[in-house]
Structure 1
Amino acid sequence: MTVSLDDVQRAAERIAGRVRRTPVIQVAPELTFKLELLQHTGSFKPRGAFNRLLGAKERGELTAQGIVAASGGNHGLAAAYAARELGVPARIFVPVTTPAAKLGKLRTLDATIVQAGNEYAEAYQAALAARDETDALLVHAYDQPEIVAGQGTVGLELLEQAGTFDTVLVAVGGGGLIAGIATAIGDNAQVVSVEPALAPTLHHALETGAPTDAAVSGVAADSLGARRIGELAFAAAQRYGVRSVLVDDPAIVAARTELWRDHHLAAEHGGATAYAALLSGAYRPAAGERVVVVVCGANTDPSTLI
C-alpha cells in the first residue's frame, strides 16, 4: 500500500464542503500554528473519515450495515460524524480508559458506543470482530490509504496558507496525520514527528527498522496511544526522511498550559504534543528557520485548563 500526492489531491476534491479549511495564525516571526483543533469534532480526523466513507460510497461499499471503527476517541468522533452526515449507522469501539469528555461527545453523534479493553489495540480487535460479523465498513484510525490521503489535505492547505516555511512539527500516534502531511509537503519542507516518550511508536520503528509493538502510556495516550505505527506512516517516514523527537509528559502538560494561557487555544494533551517539542528544546530550530506547528486536537475537559 502506498499513498501518492495525487491521492491527497483527489481527497481534497472529494471532501470539499464536508470539512473546514482551518486557519493558520502567525504567533512569532518564524512560528505559525495550523489550527486543526478547530476542525469538525475537534480534531483533524474528519478529513480521513469523510474520504474513506465517500470513496466507499462511490464504489458501492457503504451499505445499510454502516461502519465500525476503533478509536481512543478522536477518530471515533470523526467516523461517527461522517456516518451521521451520510445517513448510515456507526458502531464505535473505544477503550474503557477513554476520557469522559470524548465519550460525552460521541453520545451526541447517534453512534453505538462499545467500550472494549484498556487501550486502542484491544478496541481495534473488537471492531474487527464486529466487522466480520456484520460486513460493515471498517474505518481504520490511521492505516488505510483513504484515511492517510484525507489527513494529507492538512498539508495541501498549509502550502496555500502559510507562505514559505521550512519545517512542520506533527504529533504522532498511529501516524495517519504525519503520513498524509509528509506525502503532501515532504518534497517542499522538513517534517518532524513528535511523540510522547511514553508512546514512542514511530521513534521505535525507525530505530529498529520496522513497525513493532511499543508500550504506550502517559497523559496523551488517549489520542496518541497506538501500540504500533502504521505501515503507511512508516513507509512515508522513510521515504521523506522524517525526523523523530520525543517529549516527556511534563513538557506536554506545559505546552498545553501555554497554548491556553498565551494563545487561548483549548488543546488536549495530544494536540499540544507537537508544540511541546519547541518549548522543551526537543526540537531546536536553526537561526531563521520557519516552523509550523500543527495543533491537532481540542477534545479535553476545559475545567482542567486553568
Structure 2
Amino acid sequence: MQYQNIKNGPSEVSRIILGCMRMPSLSVQEVARQIEKAVEGGINFFDHATCYGRGEAEKRFGDALRETSIKREDLRIQSKCGLCFERNEFDWTKENILTSVDESLQRLKMDYLDVLLLHRPDLIYDPEEVAEAFEALEKSGKVRFFGVSNVPMMQLKVLKKFVKQPLSINQLQLSITASQLIDQTLYVNDLTTDLSLDRDNGLLDYCRLEDITIQAWSPLQFGKFEGCFVDHPDFPELNQALSELAEKYKVSKTAIAIAWILRHPAKMQVIAGTMNPKHLEDYCEATKVELTHHEWYQLYLASGKKLP
C-alpha cells in the first residue's frame, strides 16, 4: 500500500479508501470481515455519508468495528453531510451540519471524525453559517479536518473566503472513461469535439494550486453509473490495453485501471466502493504498479480519445 500526507489534512493515509456506501447490504459480521480485509491490505481510510442507507452504513460500520480488534485511532474516518433525500433537498445550514455530525458520531459509536465533507452543493447555502458550523465542530473536537464533495471552483472560492479551516479534500468523479476532469485541457479551443467544453472551470488545476487532495469516485465506471468498463464489450481496445499491462505487471486489469488514476501527479486518492474482498485486493494491488508516461497515454487513448 502507498500512503500520503494530505496538506492541511490527516497524515499517513492510504491512497486507496474503502467507500462504505454498500455496507447496508452486508450483515454486521460480513462488514467486520470487510474492515479486517481492508486493514490487512493496508487501507486505513474509510469514507461514509449520512445518506448511505440513510445512516445504516455508518451504523453497520460502528457495530462491526466493535467485533474486531482494530483500534479506532489507527483508522481515518471520513463522513459527508448535506444530501437530505428524505426531504428532497441539499442542506448546508449550520443546524443541519451540526445535527448531521452528532448523528453520524452516534451511529459510528465514535467521539470524532477525522474528516467532514460537505456533500454536493446546496444552491442557497450561506457561507457564514458553514463557517460557524465548522468553527463549532473544530472547537468541540468533533471534527479534525474539513473538505467538500463534488463542489466546483467558484463555490470553493466563496467557502474559502469565510471558513477559517483549510478545505483539504474534494471528491470528484474520475476514471479512464469518465475523464472529463482531465479532457478539456487536451482539447482546448477545438471546435470539432464536445470534449473541448469546459465543464469544470479548471477544477483539477485549481485543487492542485490550493493543495486540495482529489478523491476519485467511481474509478471503474463509464458514464455516471452506467456500468464498469473492465471486461465490458463496448470497450474492446481499452480492455486489450488493460490486459497487456496486467500481464506485464502481474496484476489484474482492475489494478491497472486504478493505477492509471494513481499515476497522475496530483497525488489523488481512489475510493473503492466494492464489498467484494477479491475486488478490494485488486484495488490494493494497484499501489504496487507505477505506470510509465507512455503507458498512461496508451490507456487514455485506448478509451476512445484522440490527440488533437
Per the normalisation by structure 2, the TM-score is 0.28
Larger radius of gyration: 2
The structure with higher relative contact order (CA 8 Å, sep 6+) is 1
Per the normalisation by structure 1, the TM-score is 0.28
